Structure 1
Amino acid sequence: MACVRTIQRSGSRFYIDPEDPAIKRPGVTSIISMLPKPFLAFWNAKMVAELAVDSLSFIKEMRATAGRDAAVDYLKGAARRYTKVRADIGSDAHDMFERMIRGERVGHVHPDLEPYRAHFGEFLERVNPELVRAEDVAWSVTHDYAGSFDAILRIWLDDEGNVTPNRSGTPHLVVADWKTSKSTYADVALQMSAYAQADFIIDPDGNREPMPEFDGAVVLHITPDQWALMPVQIDRAVFDVFLNLRRVFTWDREISKGVIGRALARSTGALVTGTQRRA
């Protein structure tokens, strides 16, 4: 994706228009991050608590040698460090998946990636999808967003919706996403609907073509223990929720910055009595 560059601003990703660098469209996942996630506070607290209990002697030693602030910073970073490790594995796995689905032979990999390699290989054998595109950018001028999708596939299904790996069923064009997280979450539907409803695709050479009409969407969830290919709802009702989040994104990044104006009047400071002045 050398043609479409991205930048980070205030924790959000923006895609730079290769034809006009002044145009920067927010990324799909940054828009979806506007969803409230109250469970993250409890998860973060749990990670810190578990680290403190499991590493009590180490924490005491750190406080004694490096100081209280260092120990506090170490505990505060528990969730961040875990997320980074998982993100690194996910990035490496996505790179491997793209190589495999493009037909490249992937030999020896790091032991942490081996279960993902084996499961993705089984997926290719059991489903036998046809790769239409991979890792291109979905671009929406109409609704002002962009995002990189994992793949567009053609899969074959029988009348009951079961995969026919010999391609004897009816072909279905689907937008696909690979997930290596512990669970598959509902917001993947928002992500996939945004890709499917974009105006066009930009490939690594900068070529643009209209986004095709899809028969549906699928998410391939792969963990070290198993894999599953699941259909994802991407109809208008789901896309409308994404568009609401797009408006919230504008509120959060732009409108909210200027809704409170300059003070019309303010206090002049604490009252100083005559007794205080004489003292």
Structure 2
Amino acid sequence: MTSPRLSIDTPRGRMYALEPGGAPLYPSITTVAGMRAKDHLQGWYATMASKRALEMFDYLRRNPDRASEEIRRVTSSKWGTQKKIAAAAEDYTRRASDFGTYVHALCEDWERSGSRPSRQDMSDKAAQLRADAGALAQERSLEDLLARADQRLDGFGSFLEDFQPEFVEVEQTVVNHEVGYAGTTDAIVKIGNSLLSADIKTSKKVRGDYALQGVAVVNAEQLLDDDGTVRPMPDLVGACVIHLPEAGGYSVVPLRTGDAEFAVFRALKQAWLFEAEECISAPSTTPQQLLLSLLRAKGGLDALGSLAAPSGRSASPDRTAAPLEEVAPLGDQPASGPAPLSPQEIPAGAAQPAAAPDGAAPAAEGAATAPGPDLSRAADPAPRDTSALQPRF
């Protein structure tokens, strides 16, 4: 499998440009699908690290004459030893990925030429991958590598014979502009009268999250060629995995590519867009600055409308509010409902209300002894002057 020409490796994963030499625009399908949490792998990482440590002890057991020298070397570079042990899972994954790339490349040659690669072709392809991409670096025996790959090709040949697929597109890049992603499918094949996306996998088992890759291809909008040319995306019935296991043989596994799976993929794209560092604001040195920063971070200043309208923006015509700095804290706000009239606000000649005991509301003028609502003041008084209230900062 050749690396797609429009793909670019970036610190945020593989991305795609839409034309040769263009800037990376969309994340790859595998990058987006990789945003799914992998907490279940933590135990496997630890297991792989412990296995490597035990292998080091086993080496000392099998080579007692070198034990003293090896112990001295390991203890003199503790950081280097820790890194080597911790990288066990990564090394395993890289070796498996390189082997999968190698088998993909051989199958791609078979799909394009119509004939199975010869032993010499397989050897040449391994040398090419090692030289061009640094792949297969952990392989120690070429014969062992060719034997393992040959077994996978046996399974692929059986698939070709049994399903008689027509390879409509091979290693084809697809793009979706609405969601914003691009990726490359191993093949778009025609089986019977149906078109579908097919990906070759050499993993130990078919994982359910392969459906996220399949549903992204099925919902692509265009085909994107290496020279930047776009072509209409054919209607695909679905997606499947052609599984070539280590034990030999093959299986064709259909994937679920419905609306629910695509909704998950879209959500993972949003997770990819999330920039954690942008969620941190500058430290606040005062309570007032902290409040303002929190409001800005939540869009609160805009939500407050005229209460915090920036200069140049007029407040709502039916409401004129004091600047944020002049608004009283919550603890100093008057109780809900109309404020009682002050002595200065009572019309001349009107009877003054009697003072009410602590905790009791004053009786309204002319009210009956029976309890009931005070309906004598239907209209609210004029707004009170709050300019003297100061925030508690």
CA distance 1:178–1:208, shift in 2 (3 Å): same
State the match for 1:6 in structure 2.
7
The alignment status of 1:229 with 2:248, answered yes or no, reads: no
Map residues 66-81 of structure 1 onto 2, 5 A cutoff. 66=74, 67=76, 68-81=78-91
State the match for 2:168 in structure 1.
132
Q: Distance in 2 between matches of 1:263 and 1:39?
A: 36
Superposed displacement of residue 227, structure 1: 1.4
Which 4+ stretches in 1 moved above 6 angstroms? Answer: none
CA contact (8 A) 2:20 2:226 kept: no
Higher-Rg structure is 2
Give 1:119's match in structure 2, choosing from 155, 158, 169.
Answer: 155
Superposed displacement of residue 20, structure 1: 7.9
SS in structure 1 opposite 2:254?
Answer: strand
Give 2:284's match in structure 1, choosing from 264, 269, 272.
Answer: 264
CA contact (8 A) 2:204 2:246 kept: no
Q: Distance in 2 between matches of 1:76 and 1:62?
A: 19
State the match for 1:241 in structure 2.
264
State the match for 2:95 in structure 1.
85
SS in structure 1 opposite 2:16?
Answer: strand
CA contact (8 A) 2:15 2:24 kept: no
CA contact (8 A) 2:20 2:227 kept: no
> 1 or 2 for the larger relative contact order (CA 8 Å, sep ≥6)?
1
Q: Distance in 1 between matches of 2:217 and 2:4?
A: 18
Amino acid of the structure 1 residue aligned with 2:108: E
Amino acid of the structure 1 residue aligned with 2:272: F
How large is the Cα RMSD of the aligned pairs? 2.0
State the match for 2:375 in structure 1.
none
CA contact (8 A) 1:201 1:211 kept: yes
Q: Distance in 2 between matches of 1:223 and 1:46?
A: 23
Superposed displacement of residue 74, structure 1: 1.8
CA contact (8 A) 1:15 1:25 kept: yes
CA contact (8 A) 1:3 1:18 kept: no
State the match for 1:161 in structure 2.
none
Superposed displacement of residue 90, structure 1: 0.4
TM-score (norm 1): 0.83
Map residues 169-180 of structure 1 onto 2, 5 A cutoff. 171-180=193-202
State the match for 1:105 in structure 2.
116
Superposed displacement of residue 178, structure 1: 0.8
Deviations 1:5-36 (A, max 9, x none): 22222251111120782451111111111101
Superposed displacement of residue 114, structure 1: 1.0
CA distance 1:2–1:204, shift in 2 (3 Å): farther
State the match for 1:197 in structure 2.
219
Q: Tell me the number of residue pairs that the alignment of Structure 1 and Structure 2 aligns.
A: 249
The alignment status of 1:94 with 2:104, answered yes or no, reads: yes
Unaligned runs of 5+ in 1: 157-170, 267-279
Give 1:153's match in structure 2, choosing from 164, 177, 189.
Answer: 189
Q: Distance in 2 between matches of 1:3 and 1:133?
A: 14
Superposed displacement of residue 190, structure 1: 0.8
Q: Distance in 1 between matches of 2:14 and 2:197?
A: 22
- More strand as a share of residues: 1
CA contact (8 A) 1:172 1:216 kept: no
CA contact (8 A) 2:195 2:236 kept: yes
Q: Is 197-206 or 35-44 further displaced after alignment? A: 197-206
Superposed displacement of residue 58, structure 1: 3.4
Map residues 24-63 of structure 1 onto 2, 5 A cutoff. 24-58=25-59, 62-63=70-71
Superposed displacement of residue 265, structure 1: 2.0
How many percent identity over aligned positions? Answer: 29
Superposed displacement of residue 199, structure 1: 1.1
Q: Is 70-79 or 31-40 further displaced after alignment? A: 70-79
Superposed displacement of residue 258, structure 1: 1.1
Superposed displacement of residue 62, structure 1: 3.7
